[in-house]
Amino acid sequence: MTTQAVEIKILGKVMRVNCPDGQEKALQTAAEDFDQRLHELSERTKVTNTEQLLTIAALNVCYELHAEREKTETDKSLMEQRIDMLQQSIQAALEKHSAQQA
């Protein structure tokens, strides 16, 4: 997989990071989102120390990711239950139909 250096701007600092080819736009979008989150967090918490701000932001992102993973697992479990119920309904209907044909 080839990569290329892409410039992003976080908290007013420009940095170059390697990015897989074709993913440049996604990286730019992620960087813009992260930068916006940092600015909003700084305004809301009045934290000015960059290291603390980055740590809080990283914890918030990890929390959101964890919550989304839990939601996905819950949704997956519910979907599996619904599929099982549907399969049982189909099986019961097929058995009923077969019994009527006999």
The pLDDT of residue 73: 97
Total-model pTM: 0.72
The pLDDT of residue 101: 84
Cα distances (angstroms) measured from residue 25 to each of 6, 19, 29, 57: 10, 10, 6, 22
- Structural class in CATH, domain 1-46: alpha beta
Task: Report the C-alpha gap between 97 and 29 in whole angstroms.
Answer: 55
Domain spans, the chain: 1-46, 50-102
Tens of each residue's pLDDT in the chain, 102 residues: 799 999 999 999 999 999 999 999 999 999 999 999 999 999 999 998 999 999 999 999 999 999 999 999 999 999 999 999 999 999 999 999 988 887
